[in-house]
Amino acid sequence: MRYYLIIILIIISSNLAAAGENVAMDDGTPAGEKNILSRDKTFNLSLSAGVSLMQGSTTYQIGGHVSTPTGSDKVQFPLSELEFPLNVYMANIKAGLEYGGKWRLNTGLKKNISRDGGRMKDSDWGIPWEDPPGSGTYYWYGPDHLDIYSESKTRADAVIADAELMYRFKEMEYGTARISFYGGLGYRYQNYSYECRLIRQRDYRAAAPPWEKQDAQGDGRVGLTYTVISYIPYIKFSPEIKVHDFIYFEAGVGYSPFVKLKDRDNHILRSKISKGECEGYALMFSISARAVFRNFFMEIVYAYDFIYAKGKQKQYDSGVWSATIEQKNFSTARTAGVSIGYNF
């Protein structure tokens, strides 16, 4: 019976608040205000799920200073470039926890739901040839001449995990809009993996003799696999505009000067593995709009990310170290998506 009385009292209190009653309670607080205070939760949880389209590419180049078991040398940069596409649909889930109206902990996970990433492009410049064989006489078209080019079909896998802690350091009102400013720290882990099947490779060195030419036609086998993993701690600034208590607009600017990147290229048919370790920076931009309907909400998001890193690549032929060469990595990703969620 006691529980029924409590429920009845809660309903009566809610109705008084909705009607704008201002009846004084025992402690002197108006009933409407008392009800508002009772609904003021310290923690607010939100969960959402959605889909997005990611487009862009991740690329690595090698060249410059080269060390081998027999010595060292300097070659043009780039000597070789491999561009891997980022054209996949992603599924994502997000969880947000707000504390005291000022602190926000946001986490997210994305995983691709399509695997046809597009075509990988492999380009080589300034590749010399020997003529006649064994003569030690080499020819080339120069460091800027595209000598060998190939395209491959790819099957891609992508995983992106994010976590960030934000603090509202300023808030202001302008008419019916409330503007909040957040700043904080975040961490992102992203992993892109590829299987590549050669379509066709062309050798553009017209003067090279037939035994030096590297024209090739794909046979459907996986000839190359590639994985690149990025570790990105970042700082972020994010203004938010709330209009009429149910429309939200938010922008985000993130920057990381401490990107660490590792990649692994396995040329299966040549028994050659290349491992790179690079450091650099990342820039991240995003804009979003969210509409709230009672506890449910819908959100659309657009994001742009750029990563640049440089370091060294170690190459192994049949498991034996054969060379260390300079490497650069850079990637761009544009993402547009929609999600629905619930505020608890």
Residue 249, domain member (yes or no): yes
Same domain for 10 and 80: no
What was the pLDDT predicted at 101? 87
Residue 24, domain member (yes or no): no
pLDDT per residue as tens digits for the range 41-64: 689 999 999 999 999 999 999 999
Q: What number of other Cβ atoms are within 10 A of residue 213's Cβ?
A: 15
* Domain harbouring 315, CATH code: 2.40.128.90
What was the pLDDT predicted at 217? 95
What was the pLDDT predicted at 238? 97
Same domain for 69 and 33: no
Same domain for 211 and 234: yes
Going from the C-alpha of 3 to that of each of 10, 36, 267, the distances in angstroms are 11, 22, 70
Going from the C-alpha of 79 to that of each of 11, 62, 325, 327, the distances in angstroms are 75, 6, 10, 10
**Are 305 and 283 spatial neighbours (Cβ–Cβ below 8 Å)?**
yes
The number of C-alpha atoms within 13 Å of 337 and in the hemisphere containing its C-beta is 25
Peptide bond into 132 cis (omega under 30): yes
pLDDT per residue as tens digits for the range 141-176: 999 999 999 999 999 999 999 999 999 999 999 888
Residue 265, domain member (yes or no): yes
Q: How far is the first Cα of the chain from the last one, in angstroms, to the nearest whole number?
A: 28
Question: Kindly report the CA angle at 121 between 216 and 331, in degrees rounded to 5?
Answer: 160
Mean pLDDT, rounded, for 2-13: 39
Whether the predicted pLDDT of 223 surpasses 80: yes
For the entire predicted model, the pTM comes to 0.85
Same domain for 301 and 235: yes
Look up residue 204 and give its two tokens: 């553009």
Token pair 């990310």 is at which residue? Answer: 305
Same domain for 36 and 47: no
Residue 203, domain member (yes or no): yes
Same domain for 71 and 7: no
Same domain for 35 and 56: no
pLDDT per residue as tens digits for the range 82-116: 999 999 999 999 999 999 989 999 999 999 999 99
Whether the predicted pLDDT of 23 surpasses 50: no
Same domain for 336 and 203: yes
Specify burial of residue 241 (Cβ count, 10 A radius: 0-12, 13-18, 19+).
middle
What was the pLDDT predicted at 41? 64
3-state helix, strand, coil in the chain (%, to 5): 10, 70, 20
Q: How many domains does the chain have?
A: 2
Same domain for 107 and 36: no
Whether the predicted pLDDT of 21 surpasses 80: no
What was the pLDDT predicted at 244? 87
What was the pLDDT predicted at 174? 87
pLDDT per residue as tens digits for the range 269-297: 999 999 999 999 999 999 999 999 989 99
Confidence of residue 27 (pLDDT cuts 50, 70, 90): very low
Same domain for 4 and 132: no
Domain coverage including residue 3: 1-19+29-40
Same domain for 107 and 11: no
Alpha helices, DSSP H only, in the chain?
A: 2-18, 31-39
Quote the mean pLDDT of the chain: 89
